[in-house]
Amino acid sequence: MEFYNEIFTKAGFLIPPYITNQDLNNIANVLKKKEALEIEDYLKHIYSEQNLASMVRGLYPDVPYINEYKDIISESIEAHFIGLDHIAVAGLMPVIEGVGMKLVDVWGIERERSTSNRKGVIALFSELAEKCKEHVITNNLGNVKAITASIDVFEYFLKNNFYVRSSSYKHSDKTNRHGISHGSYNDNDYGIPLNFYKTIGAVDFLCFIISLREPISFFAPSRTDESRQLAKLYQLCSVYSRLRGHF
């Protein structure tokens, strides 16, 4: 996993949960060539209409804390398929912080320092990551080394990319909460599918973290008749997105 850690952190990525080892290898190989923007073509099939429809119908409504934002997540995914990635990403970003802070409380992390100063979001997420790793190790959950390594990458992504000062963000895609939420970035700075893939990946990783203590599956949900119907809607949205490109 150290091989993956180095590749993903250097590229400003987190390790997506709910994917196969083959997908993980393929993503790593593209990132190793420093073709971060070209990874969009590969991630498109991971975050396909069918796969995201399965998550919307079979995962997000069932995951504690995530389910409080299921409509926001669903609308953001629909916006992505319509081609409105500025809106999709801006919709998802508060979900990450909202769910994250709920988990901080659930895992018993103090929000204030001994000096009565409130901790910043980066410090809180870092403490949450440490708590999660301790829980995995203590309870010998799954592939301990792989899970703890992926948590390390998630923490690094939040600390050095997602929540870093917008002026310090070093990757061309600009998937940065401060730059987007505070209006430092304009139309041309972000709004590409890669922004969405990174942000929905963070939402999915929070689902995975929640599954460490809750009675829900570690694995991606199966496709159902209901998810297939939703996938058809997403496919129509994708057609509309291509039509929008002509105007």
- Dihedral sign for Cα atoms in the order 73, 105, 15, 12: positive
pLDDT score of 36? 60
pLDDT score of 247? 75
CA R_g for the chain: 18
pLDDT score of 35? 60
As a whole number of angstroms, the distance between CA 13 and CA 105 comes to 26
As a whole number of angstroms, the distance between CA 231 and CA 218 comes to 22
Give me the half-sphere count of Cα atoms (radius 13 Å) on the Cβ side of residue 155. 17
As a whole number of angstroms, the distance between CA 165 and CA 226 comes to 41
CB atoms near residue 22 (< 10 Å): 8
Chain-centroid distance, C-alpha 112? 26
Element (H, E) at 85: helix 85-106
Copy the structure tokens of residue 173.
């895609």
As a whole number of angstroms, the distance between CA 5 and CA 3 comes to 6
Low-confidence ranges of the chain (pLDDT < 50): none
pLDDT score of 115? 66
pLDDT score of 23? 93
Q: What is the pLDDT of residues 109-140, one digit of tens each?
A: 998 876 668 889 999 999 999 999 999 999 99
Residue 119, amino acid: K
As a whole number of angstroms, the distance between CA 71 and CA 81 comes to 16
Chain-centroid distance, C-alpha 232? 23
Name the DSSP letter for residue 165: -
Residue whose C-alpha is closest to residue 37's, from 59, 17, 11: 11
